[in-house]
Amino acid sequence: MSDLETNIGKLAGYLARFKESGILNQIGGEAQPAASGATFETRSPVDESLICQVAKGNAVDIDAAAKAAKAAFPAWRDMAATERKKILHKIADGIVARAEEIALCECWDTGQALRFMSKAALRGAENFRFFADKAPGARDGQALPSPTLMNITTRVPIGPVGVITPWNTPFMLSTWKIAPALAAGCTVVHKPAEFSPLTARILMEIAEEAGLPKGVWNLVNGFGEDAGKALTEHPDIKAIAFVGESRTGSMIMKQGADTLKRVHFELGGKNPVIVFDDADLDRALDAAIFMIYSLNGERCTSSSRLLVQDTVADDFEAKLIERVNNIRVGHPLDPKTEIGPLIHKTHFDKVTSYFDIARQNGAKVVAGGTRVGDAGWFVRPTLFTGADNAMRIAQEEIFGPVLTSIRFSSEEEALQIANDIPYGLTGYVWTNDLTRALRFTHQLEAGMIWVNSENVRHLPTPFGGVKASGIGRDGGDWSFDFYMEQKHIGLATGQHAIPRLGAN
Ligand code: NAD
């Protein structure tokens, strides 16, 4: 039996219970259908087959979940942080124990290739461990003595929070947002993406099996304009941590205005990888390919704009075409597959529409630009050359395995092109000139920049974007800044003079 057949067999075992009872919401520790009884279908992008029915929550379910999160908040906030730490480590243990189930379900639900998803569960566990260890220090503050007062600061959790996640790597992103919220002492209502609900349900079950008190983490499935919107408008929800498209972020900001929501946005990107002619070009090639064609190109940090110096561009692009044409598109559960199907027909239609847009723009489609097979949402990895930065293929987030190559002649021109974009999530700079690297990264408009490297995530570092790519930072202590409020307490150290109004 091939590895693929073995994985398909195992997946069938994991899916059986979902097929039988569907995916339920979890409110106040109880698994339940939507209050209205409505459901929606989740289908696999591999062959469009039905995976299962999913509870279609709306404002009524969100209200119940928000109330459950509010009721659970005081006890969770006041639990000794060392206890919270133990529970979060147990959640990480549970994730590791079910890593295979998580990986196989994630691949089938999203189309992501197993070679990447097999590590996603472990990365999710690492997110829990990292924030578990930070929980006991979350309230630490400063002593800021003044002449008459001992001023101290501390932090307190903001309250129940809403977490809204996208479909591209749903498991990892859910852990990434929820682990710090719980470590800070917040309770959570999670609204996962409607295209990929499976692993959010598994994660929630792991958490409660690990001893997380009922109501601390609630799960409501449903559509963005319905359940998602209600979550952002609910008065008991104090903050919204959102990962998704820039225009959805803008909608959420409006929706949350009446209840003065604090928001944290991780949004879209159109990130440049800038290759200077003095760089290690072989390594630059490997990294550029990895950062756009891994995870089906459905990756906010993907290097979707290649800026290559004209002195080396012919050779670099020729090597790129050869490698891109060699990338293996296939079944996501086949360990050899490098690119699986895109998430959904609507996204497939969007991505493939850029093949014509590229030609209309006057660029060349030198690799890919075609569908693969006639079932499922598979596309060949695609490369556009002869592009300039004003074209739609250079300005818009395509969010698929599609790279636009643009040539530049000088460092000034490279910088001008790199920054001439509404987004500012990541940048990748390839040069062996140290002073240029310093100069360039100083002026590049991006929240995260790697020099001579692909994106290598280190949890203590700040993650987030500028411009239309986001507001706020995750990682390290920055996550706690979002999920917690600063509190100042001033204690008189003596009997300083207090102004005596009305005392003659
Ligand atoms: P999306 O914005 O369409 O949906 C994301 C989530 O928002 C879903 O759960 C959806 O149901 C919900 N939603 C939609 N409308 C809503 C509304 N009006 N109110 C409340 N919630 C609503 O994004 P997507 O298509 O699922 O994901 C792809 C996008 O996510 C890309 O733009 C990508 O760059 C971005 N992304 C960013 C990061 C990052 O860290 N910056 C990471 C991953 C993905």
pLDDT at residue 462 is higher than 90? yes
User: What pLDDT is attached to residue 358?
Assistant: 98
pLDDT at 120: 87
Q: Indicate whether 119 pLDDT > 90.
A: no
H helices of 341-465, where?
345-361, 392-395, 411-419, 434-443
Q: What percent of the chain has pLDDT over 70?
A: 100
User: Looking at ligand 1, which residue's alpha carbon is closest to its atom 40?
Assistant: 266
CA of 201 to the centre of ligand 1 (A): 18
Sequence-separated (6 or more) residues with CB below 8 Å from residue 286? 454
> What's the pLDDT band for 468 if we cut at 50, 70, 90?
very high
6 pLDDT above the threshold of 90: yes
According to the model, what pLDDT value does residue 361 have? 92
Is the pLDDT at 421 greater than 90? The verdict is yes
pLDDT of residue 113: 98
Q: Please name the residue that has the structure tokens 């799960």.
A: 219
pLDDT higher at 357 or 119? 357
The percent of residues in the chain predicted with pLDDT above 90, rounded, is 99
Dig out the tokens for 78 from the structure: 């006041």
3-class DSSP assignment, residue 190: strand
Measured from the Cβ of residue 204, the count of other Cβ atoms closer than 10 Å reads 23
233 CB less than 6 Å from ligand 1?
no
Nearest ligand 1 atom to the CA of 222 is: 11
pLDDT in tens, 347-374: 999 999 999 999 999 999 999 999 999 9
Domains in the chain, start-ordered, CATH in brackets? 3-140+156-266 (3.40.605.10), 272-451 (3.40.309.10)
Q: What is the distance between the alpha carbons of residues 257 and 354, in angstroms, rounded to a whole number?
A: 35
Atom of ligand 1 nearest to the CA of 164: 9
Instruction: Write the single-letter amino acid at 302.
Output: S
pLDDT > 90? residue 151: yes
pLDDT at 504: 81
| Rounded Cα gap, residues 427 and 361, in angstroms | 25
Whether ligand 1 lies within 6 angstroms of the CB of 425 is answered as yes
Ranges assigned E (strand) in 158-243: 161-164, 188-191, 217-219, 239-243
Tokens representing residue 415 in the block: 């910088």
Confidence of residue 104 (pLDDT cuts 50, 70, 90): very high
Rounded Cα gap, residues 258 and 376, in angstroms: 42
Ligand 1 centroid, distance to 166 Cα (angstroms)? 4
pTM: 0.98
The secondary structure of residue 452, as a DSSP letter, is S
Note the pLDDT of residue 324.
98
Q: Residue 205 catalytic?
A: no
CA distances from 227 to 25, 252, 264, 318, 469 (A): 12, 12, 18, 48, 24
Q: pLDDT digit string (tens) for 176-230?
A: 999 999 999 999 999 999 999 999 999 999 999 999 999 999 999 999 999 999 9
Note whether 227 and 250 are within 8 A (CB). Answer: no
How much is the pLDDT for 166?
98
